[in-house]
Copies of this chain bind each other. A is one copy, B any other.
Amino acid sequence: MKALVYKGPGRRAWENHADPVVEDPDDAIVRVDAVTICGTDLHILKGDVPTCEPGTILGHEAVGTVEQVGDAVRNVKPGDRVLVSCITACGRCQYCREGRYGQCLGGGGWILGHRIDGVQAERVRVPFADTSTYVLPDKVTNEAALMLADILPTSYEVGVKAAHVQPGQSVVIVGAGPIGLAAVITAKLLSPYPLIVIDPAPARRDAAKLLGADVTLSSDDDVKEQVLALTDGLGADVAIEAVGVPATFETCTELVRPGGHVANVGVHGKSATLHLETLWIRDITLTTGLVDTNTTPTLLRMLANHQLQTESFITHRFDLHEMESAYDVFSAPEDTGALKVGLFRS
C-alpha cells in the first residue's frame, strides 16, 4: 500500500509500505476512507517530537472501513464504517478504568502516527479496536465524522468540559484555528454569554463569528480592557487557551475573574510565566490535558442529530493519493487559508 512515512526531521514521503496485519487478538485492520492532517504532524516533521521515530507512518485522524479483526474484538466487525480516534485505549489500566484514555498505561494513549504506524495510509492496524474505534451512525458522513477524530473531543473535553462552562457564563477563547473554532462550537452547547474569541487573523475571526462567537477581538486590541468591559469589570468566567505559546497562556490568566478557570488546550513547547504574586489570592483554577475521547460517542450522536456544525472546517479536499499536496497546502495556512484539509479514498 501507499503511506506517508516520516523520514526524519524535515523529510516525509508518500511511498510504498507493507500492508498492516492483525498482530494481537484485539487488533482491527481498517481501510482508510477519509483522513486529515494535524498541526502535530507538522511538529513531528520539524523534529519536535523525538518519541516519533523515522520510518513511522504519520496521522491520527481518520474514518475508514473495518477489513479484519482479531479474535478478541467484539464490538466492530468487517464492513463496519468506523471513526479511528487519535487516542487508543487498552481499556484495562487504572487510567482507562476511569475513562482517562489519553493517559493509558497499558500500551495506548496517543500512539497512532507517533509510536506506531498511523492513519495517513491506505490501511492501518488499530490496536484495542473495541475501545479505540467508533461505529458511525448511518446519518453521519465520513467528512463530518473526521472532525471527531481529534479536534472536537479535544476542545470539548480539555477546554469546555474541563472549565465547567455553564449557561450565562462569560467565555474567552484565545486562538481561532481548528482547535479554537471547535471550542466555539462545543462551548455554544452550554449557552455561555458573551462568547469572546481573540485571534490576529481576520478570516479566522469571521469564522468564529459564523460559528457563534458574540464578540471577536484582534490580538492587537487592548484585549484585557475590552474583556473587562464586557464582563462587568471582573473578567471572564472561563478562558480557553487554543494556541500553545507562552504569551497567549499568560493572556488567559489575565482575562479570568476571581474564581475563574483557565483551560489550556494548546500544545506547548516552552515554559510560561505564572504570575502567582497576583494569582495566589484570586481563586483561579488552571487545567491542562490530553483528550481522552470519552465524549466521542456523545459527540457522534449529537453530530447525527445536527447539533454540531462541522461543515466549515475542511477548506481543501484531496484524493488520498494527493497526500504530498495536502501537506503543502496545510503547512502554509497564511498563504492558502487552510483550516483543515480532507483526503478521501476515490
A267 to B259, CA, bound (A): 17
Taking CB atoms, residues of chain B closer than 8 Å to A268 are: 276-277, 279-280
Binds B, one of A77-85, A292-300, A315-323, A327-335: A292-300
Q: Does A189 contact B (CB under 8 A)?
A: yes
A1 to B30, CA, bound (A): 44
A270 to B277, CA, bound (A): 5
Taking CB atoms, residues of chain B closer than 8 Å to A90 are: 74
Q: Mostly helix, strand, loop or mixed at chain A's interface?
A: loop
Nearest Cβ distance between residue A3 and chain B, in whole angstroms? 26
**Which A247-303 residues have C-beta < 8 A from chain B?**
249, 258-259, 264, 266-277, 279-290, 294, 297-299, 301-302
A interface residue count range (under 10 / 10 to 19 / 20 to 34 / 35 or more):
35 or more
Q: Does A2 contact B (CB under 8 A)?
A: no
Binds B, one of A6-14, A56-64, A91-99, A115-123: A91-99
Q: Does A177 contact B (CB under 8 A)?
A: no
Which residues of A are at the interface with B, using a C-beta cutoff of 8 A? 24-26, 70-72, 74-75, 90-100, 102-103, 106, 130-131, 166-168, 186, 189-191, 193-194, 244, 246, 249, 258-259, 264, 266-277, 279-290, 294, 297-299, 301-302, 305, 307
